[in-house]
Amino acid sequence: MNVLVLNAGSSTLKLSVLGDDDALLGSRELEAPRGVVPEQELVGAISALGRPDAIGHRIVHGGDRFTDATLITPDVAAALRGLIDRAPLHQPKSLAALEAVERVLPDVPAVGCFDTAFHAQMPAPAATYALPAPWRVRWGLRRYGFHGLSHAHVARRALELAGDAPLGLRIVSCHLGAGASLCAIQGGRSLDTTMGFTPLEGLVMATRSGSVDPGLLLWLLERERLSEPELAAKLEHESGLVGLAGSADMREVLAAEERGDERAHLAVATYLHRLCAGIAAMAASLAGLDLLVFTGGVGENAAAIRTRATAGLDFLGVGIDDAANAAEAHERELTSPGASVRTFVIKAREDLEIARQVRAVIG
């Protein structure tokens, strides 16, 4: 079964076709500014890639209803539109891609694969906010978690790279890209994660703030009379690295830090402070740590971030080899001699996880 995988990003639409053996048969990347899918170019890209047997869409939010990959029907699509307010930065783009592809390939079965699904069975203490029960029940207020497709791939691939390791290994997956989240994984299950009700919670990200004292946000709304749309725009698009250093690109921030830029130094130090604290918290949720994995654009490519993050985790038994860390291979082990925790770099491949889920649904 050839599966066409679509991944709608903030400004691009990535298409790839995977064969039965997960071989990459072709790929295209289209510019999609402001989430607008260029349908004419989409038709050309699909024609060039060839007609697929099935389609898999990465969809960020599945809410409480969609806890597994699901065949897209009109009812499902309508329900997903009802979740736009849970992930306003991502959900509209995924749905725009879904609708555009449906017009191009109306008779090819399409499956929605959800970033929240991997976290759907998190233990209640990890998923629960200490809010009034009527609120939690009425509005479904809970920690959903995101980047589940990436973390699910890491869970599988890490065990392959670790060789004859037992299935119960305790893994902390660090998905560090424009968006960033950590996940505590054991037995192929998510036991905890850093993102919550929306993708804003948790780590410092490229343009997103990560966790902020809710009292501070109330103060801005009440005292400074910021509007809700203004506050949302600042937290989503003008915070994180760009708010601290003026650039959302970690490569630029690290280069500026090397030149002595104090803003860049603060940005990297804040990023690493949250990252190290988060990894330790995930290890606490697992009652220990066996494997530490870096993935995503920053996780795979920023050797300096891996060096400085792991230097603060030696108390957990983490240590990495400088030569292995500096190498450019996409997937490799970084563990230094004597370290009790094994550390890996794994290439982010949500497309492989999506294709696997599509085949499970279509059969």
What's residue 329's pLDDT?
Answer: 78
All residue ranges of the chain with pLDDT < 50 are: none
Give the torsion through C-alpha atoms of 47, 153, 208, 300, to 10 deg: -90
Nearest CA among 307, 297, 281 for reference residue 248: 297
Q: Alpha helix (H) ranges present in 87-239?
A: 91-104, 124-127, 133-139, 148-162, 214-222, 228-237
Q: Rounded CA gap, 203 and 19, in Å?
A: 35
Q: What is the pTM of this model?
A: 0.95
What's residue 164's pLDDT?
Answer: 76
What's residue 112's pLDDT?
Answer: 97
Q: Is 115 among the residues known to form the active site?
A: yes
Q: Rounded CA gap, 150 and 351, in Å?
A: 9
Domains of the chain: 3-114 (3.30.420.40), 164-345 (3.30.420.40)
β-bridge mates for residue 171, sequence order: 185, 291
| Whether the Cβ atoms of residue 208 and residue 240 lie closer than 8 Å to each other | yes
What's residue 269's pLDDT?
Answer: 98
Q: Rounded CA gap, 285 and 158, in Å?
A: 19
| Whether the Cβ atoms of residue 272 and residue 242 lie closer than 8 Å to each other | no
C-alpha distance from residue 297 to each of 150, 176, 303 (Å)? 12, 6, 11
Q: Rounded CA gap, 126 and 147, in Å?
A: 16
Q: Rounded CA gap, 179 and 199, in Å?
A: 8
Residue with tokens 């038994």: 317
What tokens does 348 get?
A: 């982010």
Residue with tokens 């300096």: 304
Q: Rounded CA gap, 277 and 363, in Å?
A: 42
What's residue 86's pLDDT?
Answer: 80
Tell me whether residue 23 is exposed, middle or buried, using C-beta atoms within 10 angstroms of its C-beta: 0 to 12, 13 to 18, 19 or more. Answer: exposed
Give the torsion through C-alpha atoms of 77, 82, 86, 92, to 10 deg: 50
What tokens does 116 get?
A: 């929240």
Question: Which residue among the candidates 115, 192, 290, 351 is catalytic per the annotation?
Answer: 115
Read off the amino acid at residue 173. S
| Whether the Cβ atoms of residue 102 and residue 110 lie closer than 8 Å to each other | yes
Task: Please name the helix (run of DSSP H) or strand (run of DSSP E) that holds residue 201, with its range, or none.
Answer: none
CA angle 127, 69, 155 (to 5 degrees): 60
